[in-house]
Every structure is written in C-alpha cells, then in structure tokens.
C-alpha cells in the first residue's frame, strides 16, 4: 500500500550499492518538478534500507536490483509487507527483470543511465497512484474503539483519541475529555491504525493529528531527552531515542 502523504514533494529513499549512481539520482531528482522530490536517506544494501524504512516514512524507494546480500527483488518483497509501504521504482542497468518487477507491483522500471524526462514520468506515476489511494481509502476517523467500562460498552471515535499508552496489562486510551481502559495489544493497534497513530516510545502511540511540538524533556530514569506536546491534553509524553527521527519528520510535514 502506498501511503497517502502530502502530494507535491515526494519523500525518497535511494538504494544502490554504488555511491556514484546514488549521487547521479540525487542530481536528477533535484531537477524534477511537479511533483518535486526530497531525498531523505540513502542505503547501499537491503539491511541499511530496511533500517531506514523502520525509522522514517518514505513515499518512494528508488531501488537497484543487483546489490551485495539480498538483491533488490527480495527487498521489494519485504517493502511490500510493511504496514505503510512506499512505492517502489526499480533503477537498474538490467532490463531483463522488468516483468518480474511489475509482478510485484512496482510503480515503474527505469534502466540506467536514467534520463531526466523518464525519471520525471516515474515520479508523476507515483503521484497519481497516491491520489487514487487517497480517494479510495476508508476514513479511519469514522471508526471506533470499543471500550468495556464498568459494565457498559462505549464507542470511542478514533478521531477523538489523543494517545494510547500501555500500562502493565492494559492500555490507557486518552481523549481530551477523559481516560479509558482497554484490553489489547499496543502492537496490534499500531498495525491496524498506522495511518492515524505513530509510535513515540515502546509503550505509547500518539495521534498524528494531535502532535503539537517536540520539546526538551527530563526523565528521572532515562535522563535528558525529548517529549511531545499534544493538542487536547496538558501532559507531555516521552519520545524514545529510537523513535526521535520519525517524530521530528512527522512534525516537519
């Protein structure tokens, strides 16, 4: 699934084991317009690419096929399994893999040396796919969390939830009005509602729409760090070092 991000400036991950090839793509991308593209990260192999994909969100991966270790085809299969999978455009010197690439739903297949006009066409194709998905995705704000509270069953609209926090054997569901207790797994909620909530800590998910600011924070156990301020509640929630770059990127969008 291609994440329906803000159309107009694609967030790109370059994956190629040759530094010169990545540099050329950067130069070409800088010359592309409508949509523009911003290279957030580069990777020389599948391991580095997956690490980048786990720490940040990308709209597009420009992916070489022949690399040391797992090749581009294997990496593309791993990318397709991600909850918020970016589009994949193969960029390779080998044309014989084109059929296989489209069988795994690659958005496009470019052969080296890449021409600016052809790269521009690929970016436009990705943008069109994003627009189509935006038009067809269900509105998650109309979904509800079902809360069993003191013998009553309550429906809490997802759009009202500010954060979800794991507390021992239960999850605190916080809205601007009050808190609820929910039985369940934070990981399952993250997988199901990844478009609506982002992980900021091993024990907390926050509404992407509710994040107001990232601020310096002191924790008695972890020392100096960072926290997010959220619309609708007075408290701030700690951000783990592992999730810090993803949170910064989300606020900057």
CATH number at residue 155: 2.40.50.1020
133/137 Cα distance (integer angstroms): 6
Q: Which domain does 164 fall in, by range? A: 141-252
43/14 Cα distance (integer angstroms): 6
Name the pTM for this structure.
0.55
Q: Would residue 2 count as lying in a domain?
A: no
Average the pLDDT over 188-192 and give the result: 88
**Which tokens go with 6?**
């803000």
Report pLDDT digits (tens) over 32-88.
988 889 999 999 999 999 999 887 889 999 999 999 999 999 999 999 887 678 999
- Point out which residues pair with 10 in neighbouring strands: 37
State phi, psi for 27 to the nearest 5 degrees. Answer: -65, -45
Query: Which of 102, 136, 170 is the last residue in one of the domains?
Result: 136
Q: Would residue 86 count as lying in a domain?
A: yes
Residues in the chain: 253
For 125, counting Cβ atoms within 10 Å of its Cβ (0-12 exposed, 13-18 middle, 19+ buried), the class is: middle
Looking at the fold, whether 237 and 147 belong to one and the same domain comes out as yes
Report pLDDT digits (tens) over 155-170.
888 889 999 999 888 9
Per-residue pLDDT at 7 exceeds 50: no
Looking at the fold, whether 246 and 148 belong to one and the same domain comes out as yes
Specify whether the CB–CB gap between 161 and 174 falls below 8 A. yes
pLDDT at 4: 37
> For residue 211, which of 198, 201, 222, 224 has the smallest C-alpha distance?
198
8-state DSSP, 126:
H
Report pLDDT digits (tens) over 108-136.
999 999 999 999 999 999 998 887 765 55
Report pLDDT digits (tens) over 214-243.
888 877 776 788 999 998 898 899 999 888
pLDDT at 3: 39
Looking at the fold, whether 182 and 122 belong to one and the same domain comes out as no
Per-residue pLDDT at 95 exceeds 80: no
Query: Which of 136, 169, 202 is the last residue in one of the domains?
Result: 136
pLDDT at 138: 53
pLDDT at 136: 53
pLDDT at 141: 52
Looking at the fold, whether 177 and 114 belong to one and the same domain comes out as no
- Counted domains in the chain: 2
Looking at the fold, whether 148 and 116 belong to one and the same domain comes out as no
Looking at the fold, whether 36 and 123 belong to one and the same domain comes out as yes
Q: Which residue has the higher pLDDT, 192 or 98?
A: 192
Buried-exposed string 58-74: b where 16+ CB fall within 10 A, e elsewhere: bbbbbbbbebeeebbbe
Q: Which residue has the higher pLDDT, 105 or 64?
A: 64
Specify whether the CB–CB gap between 161 and 53 falls below 8 A. no
Q: How many helices (H) and strands (E) does the chain have?
A: 7, 15
Largest distance between two CA atoms of the chain: 66
**Which tokens go with 237?**
């929630």
pLDDT at 5: 40
Average the pLDDT over 171-192 and give the result: 91
Percent of the chain with pLDDT over 70: 90
**Which tokens go with 123?**
């970016």
> For residue 29, which of 67, 58, 53, 51 has the smallest C-alpha distance?
58
Count other Cβ atoms within 10 Å, centred on residue 248: 13
């Amino acid at each position: 699934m291609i994440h329906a991000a803000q159309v107009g400036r694609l967030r790109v991950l370059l994956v190629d084991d040759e530094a010169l090839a990545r540099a050329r793509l950067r130069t070409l991308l800088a010359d592309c317009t409508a949509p523009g593209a911003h290279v957030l990260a580069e990777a020389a192999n599948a391991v580095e690419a997956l690490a980048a994909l786990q720490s940040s969100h990308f709209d597009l991966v420009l992916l070489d096929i022949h690399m040391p270790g797992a090749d581009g085809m294997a990496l593309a299969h791993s990318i397709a399994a991600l909850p918020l999978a970016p589009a994949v455009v193969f960029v390779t010197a080998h044309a014989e893999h084109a059929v296989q690439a489209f069988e795994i739903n690659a958005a496009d297949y470019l052969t080296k040396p890449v021409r600016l006009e052809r790269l521009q066409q690929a970016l436009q194709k990705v943008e069109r796919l994003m627009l189509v998905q935006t038009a067809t995705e269900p509105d998650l704000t109309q979904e509800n969390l079902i809360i069993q509270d003191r013998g009553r069953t309550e429906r809490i609209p997802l759009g009202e939830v500010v954060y979800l926090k794991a507390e021992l054997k239960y999850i605190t569901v916080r809205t601007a009005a009050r808190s609820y207790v929910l039985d369940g797994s934070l990981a399952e909620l993250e997988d199901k509602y990844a478009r609506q909530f982002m992980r900021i800590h091993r024990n907390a998910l926050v509404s992407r729409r509710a994040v107001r600011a990232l601020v310096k924070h002191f924790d008695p156990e972890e020392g100096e760090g960072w926290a997010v301020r959220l619309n609708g509640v007075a408290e701030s929630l700690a951000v783990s070092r592992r999730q810090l770059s993803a949170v910064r990127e989300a606020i900057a969008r």
